[in-house]
Chains A and B, each alone.
Chain A
Amino acid sequence: MALRSIIRRASSSINTNYRIWAQEKQNDTSQFTKSHLLNSGYLRDGQIPEALQYDHAYKLTTLSNGVRVATEPFDNAIATVGVMIEAGSRNETMANTGIAHFLEHLHFKGTNKRTRIQLESEIENMGGNLNAYTSRETTLYQMQVFKNDVSRAMEIISDMLLSSKYDKTSIEIEREVILREAQEVDADMREMILENVHYTAYRNHIMGQPILGHKTSIMQINRDQLKKFIYTHYVGPRIVVLGAGPISHDQLVDIAEKNFGKVAKTTEYPFDGEDPPEFCGSSIYVRNDLDELAHMGVFYEAPSWKHEDYWPFLLLQRIMEYDPNAPINTNYPYGLYNYMNRWFGDMKDIKKQECLFIPYRDTGMFGHYASGEFITSLIKPTIDRKQTYLEELSFEEIQRAKNKIYTELLAIEAGSDMIQTLGCQLIYMDKKVPKTEIASRIAAMDKKYLEATYKKWFSEGDTALAIYGPTSTIQRINEV
């Protein structure tokens, strides 16, 4: 921790002011100029691309019961509205794992006002598109509709969330569907490894349990449990109503007031799973000698969404990440400017490699997923690699990763991407973080700062390891 005081805080000179785009650069004739770049062709530390100096206007209103309403209006033919709830599989107990995801399914199955068929045809007939996602900490329902259908879309979402029937027949049908879905997730090796990494890293916490739940508890979930989960977690301060596109903020506030204004502000039940999980160094391996490929996940503890080191980890992940379009193959010149990828690429057995940063509210994990033929012999080098990685961290690699983040930020264009970004920022950071601010934070980071951050987190600390496949050298894993 003593190290921390001598690190130059990258956040000390962050420009959080952004400009609202107003077509001001109408006749700019030097958009492609390189005059502002260093001789090496890169942006100076602290300098962000011109296009990232702007963001959409943004408005936030909090209703009396704590529900937040946020809009990012822009001109478009399609409007995106959504409701993000700060509740997910981490708010379950061992007795009801999978209930958050179960609820998501049942919300599509009919309300007091609409039967399932009516609900489906109403949305399909109006040209709407409804999606929902359940993660460990949040649940998102979103609809993309023609611009005149905004209030109808919000009414449908609130009807689903607050007046669903959870009737017995639907519960039984969905139980089967979810069990089949769980089988599919298990068959996806990458998903399975990530679930196993969570299990082993958060052994003493509900965070370690799979999002879809355990078969035994899925078999037992009933209507009362479902309703209790709603009463407990769907309270005002944990609900964010989101809109992007051709939506007036005042209109959305009115609609939200009408539909979510009566949601309770507090609950009589205590929230489950709110205690911070402890990252536990451990390993889990599943032996299957019949499978040709082995899969592994090697993960370390990393900052949470709320930690100031969240930002440098965004950059560290891009520095190490694998170019998903590039097959690992020595015929391709793809290793250059990405030493981690080249290092993995030189290992002939590796077929796939991916670097992941998975932050949560009060914890996070960072590491690699890889698959290949003789992967067990790679585990120790991969872990050792963690210590030596920084020696090769070059100026070019940092620049490449910064540019990657800039283009990713500029690619947040669709309403659905915008409300997902905004929803997470409001839930985890209590404010919208403009693209300009994110870019400025990234731009301010230099090698020294990244090195210090990296050392702070990785010079010691535990490893969570998950392995699957023909692990014939299983003894060696124990030695690790």
Chain B
Amino acid sequence: MIKWSILKNGVRVLTEKTPFPTSINLGVLLDVGTRDETPKISGTLHALKKIYLRTHTNSDEQKNYCTVQMSGGDFSMDYDQEKTYYHGTCLAHDTYDFLQMARDCIFDEKNEEDAKIAHERLSEHWKANQNVMPDQLITSFMLPAAFGENGIGLPLDGHEGAYPSITHTTMNEFRNTCISPEKIIVAAAGVNNHEEFENSVKPYFENLQAPEHLKARIPSQYLGGEFRHEIQSDMTYMSLSFEGVSWTNDKMPAFQVLRTAIGEGGGFSTGGPGKGMHSRAYNTFLRKYPFLESVKCINQHFTDTGLFTILISGLKAYSGHMAEAMVKETLDLQRMTDIEIARAKNLLKNQALLTLEKTGPRIEDTVKMFMTFGSQKNYIELIDAVTPQQVRELASKVIKTRPSLVILGQGTENVPSFDKFQARLS
């Protein structure tokens, strides 16, 4: 049961009374992400994450860490292109301490010492990530290839080598210009009484003021195009993306169904039934083309756009054949059968419902929906309403739009040009 209210400065407070007593699952969602950075300050959120427990007003990093440890629960910070989420779990009697900590972690001014420590930890991060696996590397090229190196196309981790230019001033300015009370939701699940939680939140969040100059989010613009990169590998990695839709778009559920119908697969074991072993990834891609090593369909939604991607990897000697397989199977998406679509819908519903069984992921889902839609949507009903016709129409429409192509590995010269790709698909 969800209840929500608005504090007088605009901060929203949301609670879920869980069907069964549980820990307090607390979350503070900020409507800010890496797309609000600029190429110059790209990596600011990554730096902030590295020192997310460093506070100064009421406590310090050590005290916060002890608060979390002694509570028996956890507290962490996550961010993506559009949202930043501070969240934790604790027993009911630690709720005030966690609220205080969350507020201080988000709003305490960072100082030079903080920046120094952030740099040390970022340097360790980049040292540890020197050998990024090509399958991870290619996913980091997909968004820049589609949207350019700005906004949504900015890397989640920032650029290696660019972090020394992020100072405490950068971090403070970013927070001061991007966060206002209307962009904050404080949420908790496991709460019996909404008013009690609201009253507990007030001392920490009600006196926040809106900044004088709130930076408006720049609308995204899909560009499309191609990106080829030679790396030392026995394999070729190839991704083909099209502009998708926003979270609020009517076609969002159909995109999700299409993604599930393609699914993902690779490795020698297909896993048990229920993980998409009869999806197109296994039934067509991997079965028809023995040179393919893995297949994955990725579907990303943002507030004003989205990206729909098919990602394949295979032996480098077959890179030309891989391109052919990609084109053929992408065209074949228009002939998705009713059975495949019904199966994908059930699979998607099962996966969604399993995620929602746990309180933590459920409150995260609810609070993100409130930020995006302003209300709670019944995702299951949205999936149910998708018809096979809609999915096929969506597929035939989307593959005729301007693609973006990323090719990584060796043998990339055997892959046809972008124009040829586009000509084959339209």
Contact = CB atoms under 8 A, between A and B. Distances in A.
A144 B269 contact: no
A50 to B, nearest CB: 6
Interface string B272-313: 111111100000000000000000000000000000000000
Given A124-B276, A127-B347, A337-B70, A78 B20 contact: no
A120 B357 contact: no
Contacts of B258: none
A403 B269 contact: no
Contact of A144 (B96, B191, B274): B274
B65 A333 contact: yes
A132 interface: yes
B8 interface: no
A436 B93 CA distance: 18
A49 B92 CA distance: 8
Contact of B347 (A124, A130, A331): A124
B70 A403 contact: yes
B71 A403 contact: yes
Contact of A399 (B61, B70, B190): B70
B120 A177 contact: no
Nearest to B70: A400
B192 A127 contact: no
Interface stretch (A9-17, A30-38, A292-300, A370-378): A30-38
Contacts of B274: 123-124, 127-131, 143-144
Given A325-B76, A334-B65, A32 B70 contact: no
Contacts of A41: 70
Interface string B320-358: 000000000000000000010011011101100110111
Interface in A1-46: 21, 25-34, 36-37, 41-42
B115 to A, nearest CB: 14
Contact of A132 (B21, B272, B339): B272
A433 interface: no
A120 B277 contact: yes
B400 to A, nearest CB: 30
B380 interface: yes
Interface in A391-442: 396, 399-408, 410-411, 413-415
Interface in A258-272: none
A407 B20 CA distance: 14
Interface stretch (A69-77, A161-169, A202-210): A69-77
Contact of B350 (A76, A144, A399, A413): A144
Contact of A413 (B20, B95, B117, B120): B20
Nearest to B72: A403
B372 interface: no
Interface residues of B, number: 60
A353 interface: no
B22 interface: yes
A336 interface: yes
B62 A49 contact: no
A34 B93 contact: yes
Contacts of B233: none
A125 B91 contact: no
Contacts, number: 183
Interface string B12-33: 0000000111111000000000
Interface string A111-152: 000000001110111111111100000000001111000000
B339 A125 contact: yes
Contacts of A95: none
Contact of B268 (A30, A177, A403): A177
Interface stretch (B130-138, B141-149, B193-201): B193-201
A305 interface: no
Contacts of A30: 196
A181 interface: yes
A54 interface: yes
Interface string B105-135: 0000000000001001100100000000000
A463 B31 CA distance: 54
Given A32-B93, A323-B69, A77 B380 contact: yes
A191 B192 CA distance: 43
B23 A407 contact: yes
Given A25-B192, A129-B350, A413-B359, A123 B273 contact: yes
Contact of A31 (B74, B196, B357): B196
A336 B62 contact: yes
B314 to A, nearest CB: 19
Contact of B357 (A51, A53, A78, A143): A78
B62 A414 contact: no
Contacts of A396: 70
B273 A331 contact: no
Interface in B163-200: 190-193, 195-197, 200
Interface string A155-184: 000000000000000000000010011000
A344 to B, nearest CB: 16
Contacts of A132: 272
A421 to B, nearest CB: 14
Given A51-B23, A413-B358, A407 B73 contact: yes
Contacts of A181: 269
A54 B19 CA distance: 12
A306 interface: no
A21 B21 contact: yes
Nearest to B60: A333
A361 interface: no
Nearest to B128: A327
A338 interface: yes
A21 B61 CA distance: 38
Given A21-B21, A125-B339, A331 B349 contact: no
A74 B274 CA distance: 23
Interface of A: 21, 25-34, 36-37, 41-42, 49-54, 56, 74-78, 108, 119-121, 123-132, 143-146, 177, 180-181, 323, 325, 329, 331-334, 336-338, 396, 399-408, 410-411, 413-415
18 contacts: A29-B193, A32-B92, A50-B92, A51-B22, A54-B20, A76-B357, A124-B347, A125-B339, A127-B274, A127-B345, A144-B350, A177-B268, A323-B69, A331-B117, A399-B70, A406-B72, A410-B91, A414-B357
Interface of B: 19-24, 61-62, 65-66, 69-74, 76, 89-93, 95-96, 117, 120-121, 124, 190-193, 195-197, 200, 268-269, 272-278, 339, 342-343, 345-347, 349-350, 353-354, 356-359, 380
Given A51-B22, A332-B65, 10 more contacts: A25-B21, A28-B192, A32-B196, A33-B93, A75-B19, A145-B350, A181-B269, A401-B72, A407-B72, A413-B359
